[in-house]
Amino acid sequence: MNTGQMLLSLGALILLSTMILRFNRAVLTSDEVMYNSKFNVLASSLCTSLIEEARGKAFDQETDSAAVTKTDQLSTTMGPDFGEKYESFNDFDDFNGFIKVDSTMPSAIFYVTSKVTYVEANNLLNIVTKKTWHKMITVTVMSSSMKDPVQMSSTFSYWFFR
Amino acid sequence: MGTNVILDIMGSIIIGGILMITLFRISDRATESTYNKTGDLTIQQNIASVVRTLEYDFRKIGYCADWTQIPNPSKSIIFAKSDGIKFLTDVDRDGKVDTMYYYTGPVSELIYTANPRDRILYRVVNNEKPVKVNLGVTQFDLVYYNVDKEIIPTPVSVLGEIYTIQISVAVEDIEAYDQKYSQVFWRQIRLVAKNLRNR
């Protein structure tokens, strides 16, 4: 084998190696996308579960056992009351500032956080500081295995039976 | 033929053989990857279909367009097991109470699929013929909680105690390359009868 043939063989091997590396990269990238979408499915289910749980509570601390007729009667602070823990949450805004680590899922550990704010009736995306009859919960689920966090929001309005 | 030529030919055969094996492995990996990715996509679409139906039906536990038909939604669950549930609802929103029954069949029902774990998920409305959902469901588990977030043993004897239901669904490929079945898992906690309490 002369020098020219050696160079051609080396060139061919380099080309083949590059092709193999590119192929492996493509496979790994599509694997990553697949896993990410699987984690997103789980993250979405965690978001909806927490929203569902919060919606099962009273609208406000003050409406847990009695009805109110004016927004002034609603509690002034968002979040759990002093000494109130997750197990004893009784109203929607107790989930403001809530953090939970979910390690029960079969594939990854998820971090669930939520925020509750008042929103305007005529624009439910508009967060306001004054008290209204509408509260919005925003749940964010993150994981070190995921590329981007999943975020979902839901608005809960006050109602009662007459 | 000189020794050098013979060595060249032998060297070429060895290198050529290595290259051939490498190419075969690439081809095999490409086939596996394509098969798995297509399977993954299919099971994700399948779980989305199953979940969409479950969410729609479970959201309406205890609902009736004519509320006087189910005045007490806490009595809307007829029976509750770990792999099945029957409840009152109003499927077509006509003000008439319907019963809905979800359960899974045994794995022996699907012996014609390669996956040994998949089973049929049944959805029965009133006394109609069961609708079979064969989308590679391998797990359909229901866990019931009371208002204190304690698990209620199944089958649930005091149905009015059920406050939330945890639904876990796993879907796998029906067929897989080299029996490496992909799985998608979904779990949700749903309230039973949202309008149960005066809040």
A vs B: CB pairs below 8 A: 71
ipTM of the complex: 0.74
Q: How confident is the model at residue B198 (pLDDT cuts 50, 70, 90)?
A: very low
Helix (H) or strand (E) holding B158: none
pLDDT of residue B195: 54
| Structural domain spans, chain B | 38-196
In this structure, are residues B118 and B42 in contact, taking their beta carbons and an 8 Å threshold?
no
Contacts with A143 (C-beta within 8 Å, 6 or more apart), sequence order: A39, A43, A108, A109, A110, A111
Question: Which residues on B lie below 8 Å from A17 (Cβ)?
Answer: none
Dist CA A59 CA A55 (whole Å): 8
Using CB atoms within 10 Å of the CB of residue B27, give its burial: 0 to 12 exposed, 13 to 18 middle, 19+ buried.
Answer: exposed
* Cβ within 8 Å, pair A53-B29: no
Q: Nearest-CA distance from A56 to chain B in Å? A: 6
- What's the pTM value of the predicted model, to 2 decimals? 0.81
Asked if A41's CB is within 8 angstroms of B186's CB, the reply is yes
Distance (Å, whole) CA B2 – CA A162: 106
* B21/A88: higher pLDDT: B21
The verdict on B4 touching A (C-beta cutoff 8 Å) is no
DSSP B27-41: HHHHHHHHHHHHHHH
- pLDDT, mean of residues A77-82: 85
Alpha helices (runs of H) in A56-82, residue ranges in sequence order: none
What residue ranges do the domains of chain A occupy?
A: 3-157
pLDDT tier at B163, thresholds 50, 70, 90:
confident
Q: How far is B114 from chain A (nearest CA, A)?
A: 23
Residue B171 is which amino acid?
Answer: V
